[in-house]
Amino acid sequence: MAQDLLVYLNGQMIEESQARISPFDRGFLWGDGVYEITPCFNRRPYRLADHLERLYRSLRYVRINSPLTREEIEKATLNLLEANFPRLEEQGVYKIGHWVTRGMDTPSMAAREAGPATVFIFWRPVRPQSRAKVTSKMNQILAELDADVSGGLSLMLDIDGNVAENSIANFFIVRDGVLWTPPERNILEGITRKVVFELASKLEIPLEERNFTIYDISQAEEFFLTASHTCAMPVREVDGFRPKAPVPGPITQRLMDAFVEETGFDYLRYLRASRT
């Protein structure tokens, strides 16, 4: 299990698992706050001052009065970095989050009466995506091992929370009868993925390359993975969300059948045998 990192919350430096915020905070109630994310490479923040300048421009715009000056929040961030230093991977990539809300709401629910502002600073690791078949696959291996703990397969996200790919496969969903798959910017351009594009065109199945999130997965009719050795493999659950259609769904089944015809190999029997 990954070690907790320390966070800064309203003047205190504490373990992230111990951080608590009131449900009456306006950030929770109304989304009344601003945030900034700064990259941190090899335990060194990149352009922190520029990101904090933008944070304070946002605060001025929404009229939130931070209890810390820009210089004080920079100092708090660097102090937190120093405290977290032994817990951060030396070659790791992290996101430094600065969240500032208007603070505690009042019974009147008037924005002008809220406060003082809530200030939250934290670190989060980033799992980079590979767009080439290089020999270093440690990030994919670690994702695979993490998922294996629960007896599942990995599904990685990009730094914006969009679905990217499995550690060794591309990912598709079907929503409202349309195939969705992440754009090439975030993924390895799989050969089998390309075949799905060709088969979808042949079968007149609409397909879109687009960003989508776990929310979209929760609303989808079907999910499946594509890889060289499994062609199109249906997925019965993602992060607790089950597809609305039976598994495999009708579009997935059409593609699976098309792969059998395309390859001349009954890989469906192979898949069934591999599960026994």
- 155-164 pLDDT tens trace: 777 778 888 8
CATH assignment at residue 110 = 3.30.470.10
Q: 243 by DSSP, 3-state: which?
A: coil
Q: Which of 99, 101, 158, 94 is nearest to 123 (CA)?
A: 94
Task: Name the residue range of residue 116's domain.
Answer: 6-125
* Domain match, 92 and 211 both: no
Q: Note the pLDDT of residue 1.
A: 43
**What number is the average pLDDT over the span 172-197?**
86
Q: Give the separation between CA 164 and CA 157, rounded to whole angstroms.
A: 5
- How large a percentage of the chain has pLDDT more than 70? 83
- How large a percentage of the chain has pLDDT more than 90? 52
- Which tokens belong to 142? 């670690």
The confidence band for 130, taking pLDDT boundaries of 50, 70 and 90, is: very low
The confidence band for 134, taking pLDDT boundaries of 50, 70 and 90, is: very low
Q: Do the beta carbons of residue 77 and residue 46 sit within 8 Å?
A: no
- Which tokens belong to 83? 């405290």
The confidence band for 94, taking pLDDT boundaries of 50, 70 and 90, is: confident
Q: Note the pLDDT of residue 238.
A: 87
* Domain match, 114 and 175 both: no
Q: Do the beta carbons of residue 103 and residue 115 sit within 8 Å?
A: yes
Question: For residue 240, is pLDDT > 90?
Answer: no
* Domain match, 11 and 117 both: yes
Q: Do the beta carbons of residue 79 and residue 64 sit within 8 Å?
A: no
Of the candidate ranges 26-30, 155-159, 204-208, the one whose mean pLDDT is the lowest: 155-159
Q: Give the separation between CA 170 and CA 161, rounded to whole angstroms.
A: 16
Q: Note the pLDDT of residue 207.
A: 97
* Domain match, 45 and 148 both: no
Q: Do the beta carbons of residue 8 and residue 80 sit within 8 Å?
A: yes
Q: Note the pLDDT of residue 106.
A: 93
Q: Note the pLDDT of residue 129.
A: 42
**DSSP state letters, 105-126:** --TT--GGG--SPEEEEEEEE-
Q: Note the pLDDT of residue 103.
A: 96
Q: 35 by DSSP, 3-state: which?
A: strand
Which of 103, 125, 147 is the last residue before a domain boundary?
Answer: 125
Question: For residue 142, is pLDDT > 70?
Answer: no
Q: Which of 33, 31, 27, 75 is nearest to 52 (CA)?
A: 75
Structural domains in the chain (count): 2
Residue 271 sits at φ, ψ, to 5 deg, of: -65, -45
Which of 95, 125, 155 is the last residue before a domain boundary?
Answer: 125
Let me know if residue 131 belongs to a domain.
Answer: no
